[in-house]
Amino acid sequence: MRENVSLAELTTMRLGGLARYVAEIDNESDLVEAYHFARENNLPTYILGGGSNVIGRDEGFAGVILLNRMKGISVFESDAEKVRITAQSGTRFGDLVEFSTKLWNGDSFGYSGIEALAEIPGSVGAAPVQNIGAYGQEIGDSLYRVGVYDTREQRFRQLTKAQLGLGYRRSIFNHGAEIGRYFITNVTVELSKKWMEPPFYNSLQAYFNEHNIADLTPAIIRKAVSDIRSRKLPDPRWVASSGSFFKNIYLDPEAAEAARERGIPVFDNGKVAAGWLIENAGLKGCDFYGMRVSEDAALVLINERAKSYADLARARAAIVAQVYDKFGLTLEQEPVEIGG
């Protein structure tokens, strides 16, 4: 247990005041003990993995941060077509992806299902929280079940995929009445021997063409995604950001038609790419109060010089207002916030 730790130290955007307590959780008994401590002292709790989707506010957090460090990966069961792999929730998500693409499947190496999620920073336990997704895959497509500590019933339980309320960047863990109820202790994914098939994302297909790749094994897709991402996304070890700062927008058919008439590209499912809006509002590369809109990926806000959450809030307001003025659509922030 550490006291008075800066939220900036625990989160990749590197902002925020002090957390009163930080408890490092290595196993289930640490977890039960930390919740017990918080209850005894009447303190709120907050779970953090890699802090890559959480922004610290300047007021800090007057409670107990549960810093998840429970590690380990094991094969839970497999048959001729599928494998189920369980990872402890503090495992690096990238390690689970690497493990799955290197596992012998009886005929060759690698199981498919999460290979396009390569290089998404953070922990396995956070993956179902916002149903992480990239390059045409979402963790929800491959989830089998999730092990949790239920703080209401004070016991460990299993939740099936159907109980998780998964949608675009959402689940029961970040929407509705159950927020804060569960600590995810482990995640089981069910992966297939069947490889991913076209159509692929444009940038992924372009990479395959450029490198003359036809053999699309999970390991090759993982490598392709890693290469593409490393060219355009900041590495949180060296550059302060939370990755995509704004969510894509989904419009109903009427609003989609109106947007198309205004020249905004809308996908068949009503999706408007938030990155397109920011770029076409002329904001790529612009600096707002020490926060820069990335030159390489307009959706990413980089903390270059911002000293406080207040600076970030001013930058966000400026970007949202400029996009609204130009396109009449309101951007919403993707990362969640802690403190205040």
Ligand X SMILES: Cc1cc2nc3c(=O)[nH]c(=O)nc-3n(C[C@H](O)[C@H](O)[C@H](O)COP(=O)(O)OP(=O)(O)OC[C@H]3O[C@@H](n4cnc5c(N)ncnc54)[C@H](O)[C@@H]3O)c2cc1C
User: Among 7, 34, 38, 47, which residue interacts with ligand X (rule: CB under 6 A)?
Assistant: 47
Class of residue 92 by CB neighbours under 10 A (exposed 0-12, middle 13-18, buried 19+):
middle
Subset of 82-121 contacting ligand X (CB under 6 A):
89, 120-121
Q: How far is CA 168 from the centre of its chain?
A: 11
Annotated active-site residue 98? The verdict is: no
Q: Does 233 help bind ligand X (rule: CB under 6 A)? A: yes
Q: How far is the CB of 44 from ligand X (least distance, A)?
A: 12
The Cβ-side half-sphere exposure at 36, using a 13 Å CA radius, reads 7
Q: How far is the CB of 112 from ligand X (least distance, A)?
A: 18
User: Among 17, 110, 113, 243, which residue interacts with ligand X (rule: CB under 6 A)?
Assistant: 243
Round to whole Å and give the CA distance between 306 and 310.
Answer: 9
Residue 96: CB atoms within 10 A of its CB come to 23
User: Among 45, 52, 105, 322, which residue interacts with ligand X (rule: CB under 6 A)?
Assistant: 52
Residue range at the interface with ligand X (CB under 6 A); choices 44-52, 157-165, 211-219, 307-315:
44-52
User: Among 19, 23, 38, 132, which residue interacts with ligand X (rule: CB under 6 A)?
Assistant: 132
Residue range at the interface with ligand X (CB under 6 A); choices 29-37, 212-220, 231-239, 287-295:
231-239
Annotated active-site residue 308? The verdict is: no
User: Among 62, 72, 133, 247, which residue interacts with ligand X (rule: CB under 6 A)?
Assistant: 133
Query: Looking at the annotation, which residues are catalytic?
Result: 169, 244, 334
- Write out the residues near ligand X by the rule CB under 6 A: 12, 46-54, 68, 89, 120-123, 125-127, 129-130, 132-134, 173, 182-184, 233-234, 236, 241-244, 336
